[in-house]
Structure 1
Amino acid sequence: MTEAAGHGGGEGHPTSRIVKVGVIVTIVASIAGLITTGVATLYSAWVADDQLKQSQQAAEEKK
């Protein structure tokens, strides 16, 4: 009765294993995307800060 209900101790259906692998790959890819976006945003903020400092320095030198 447990096998009919899907609670058997066997290996399970091959499709369910593929779905689980797909879910894991999707989660890992999403996390990698978030990390990449965070690093790119941080780098962009550093570049913008540097550009602002250079602009302020150039404005001070013009005075």
Structure 2
Amino acid sequence: MLRKFLFWIAGDRPMRRIGTAFIDRVTGEPVHYFVDEYGSLWLATHRWSLFRIPSKRVQR
């Protein structure tokens, strides 16, 4: 219960990296696939990233 509350406060962060997606052409940073505590997939540059995009990739 406390663990879920702490993830809720932190916006489901930190996330776990599960793979690399691509290199951003503008910033030159690698963009990775991440999964949060609830199993949602995201594209982000690092595990504490404030800006992230939901991924439509199917997890196997």
TM interval, shorter chain, is under 0.3
- Give the TM-score normalised by the residue count of structure 2: 0.18
Between Structure 1 and Structure 2, the one with more helix by share is: 1
- Give the TM-score normalised by the residue count of structure 1: 0.17
Higher relative contact order (CA 8 A, sep 6+): 2
Give the structure with higher Rg (CA): 1
